[in-house]
Structures are given as C-alpha cells and as structure tokens.
Amino acid sequence: MTISSLAGSAAVSRYLESCLAINWSVLGKQYRYIKQLKNRWGEEEYGKDNVLPIVLGKDSILTFHKATKAELEVEKGTEENSKFLTIELSQESSHLSEVMTVTDREEFVKKNVVEGDMSIREAAAKTGYSHTTIKRDKDKIEYHEYENI
C-alpha cells in the first residue's frame, strides 16, 4: 500500500501534509493494520517495516484495539501434517502474503473436496480463500484427472 494506491487523482497526495491508511489483513476478518503513507513534518513511525496491527472490536463495530501480541502463531498444512508459523504482525508483508501456498491449497481441495465430502463453501471457510477460488481449484483438478484418463 503506497500513496499512489489512493483512489482518485495522484495529484491529491501533493496537498496532503500527512496520510494514514487502513488496510485489511489476510490473517483474518478481525485484523487490520494502519500504515503511515506520508508525513511531511516528522519522522515516519509506521512504515512498511513497522505497521500498527489492530483488531476490530468484538461487537464487529469499527472500534480498533492495538494488537497485544507482536507475533501470531498460525497453523499451516493438513491435520496429519501441520506445522505452526510465527508471523510478525508489525511487518506489512505478513498482512499481505497468504499463509497457504497455491500447491498446499490445491492439495487441500483435492483431498477434502474432490476426494472427500467437504463442500466448496466449507473448504473456503477453512482455508480463508473465496468459494470462487476453491471452485476453480476443484474444476482444475477434475479437468486434469479427466485429461489423464
């Protein structure tokens, strides 16, 4: 997320003295982060290497709470072969990168949706991806299996 990511004219940023932005995080619906995009009169405190992680209020109203932990443990993999990753919440890249790789996601879809009895929506909820992405993975896997017959 940069100053050029702002909607509208890029010339608007020339008139700003300072600019903060709030972005969604791939870590979950309740996570957001604040990043300082411009500060004309002082030091940049919350840049890409030190974003301000926040959590939405429990009542799902837009109330922010600074994340109490600097790191978050996230489980990656399947039930039989899972491992925990430690994600640094103050790094912007942690909020933007997916926890599950494309290969891991396709393996999950093959095992649970194509060969198992999990629905597309259940798989989407479990992986954090949209049901459209899971359906595309399922169609791709079924197409390749049909092609190999």
**Using one digit for the tens of pLDDT, what is the confidence trace for 80-114?**
666 666 667 777 777 676 656 778 888 889 999 99
Gap between the Cα atoms of 128 and 121, Å rounded:
10
- How many domains would you assign to the chain? 2
What the block records as the tokens of 63 is 């109330």
β-bridge pairing 52-56 and 82-88: unpaired
Percent of the chain with pLDDT over 70: 66
Do residues 130 and 101 share a domain?
yes
Residue in 70, 47, 49, 66 with CA at minimum distance from that of residue 57? 66
Do residues 44 and 62 share a domain?
yes
Q: Which range of residues forms the domain containing residue 28?
A: 3-67
- DSSP annotation of 110: I
Do residues 36 and 79 share a domain?
no
Q: Which of 47, 67, 87 is the last residue of a domain?
A: 67
pTM of the predicted structure, to 2 decimals: 0.51
| Mean pLDDT within 138-144 | 88
Alpha-carbon distances, residue 115 vs 41, 110, 111 (angstroms): 59, 6, 5
Do residues 48 and 86 share a domain?
no
Do residues 43 and 91 share a domain?
no
Do residues 80 and 60 share a domain?
no
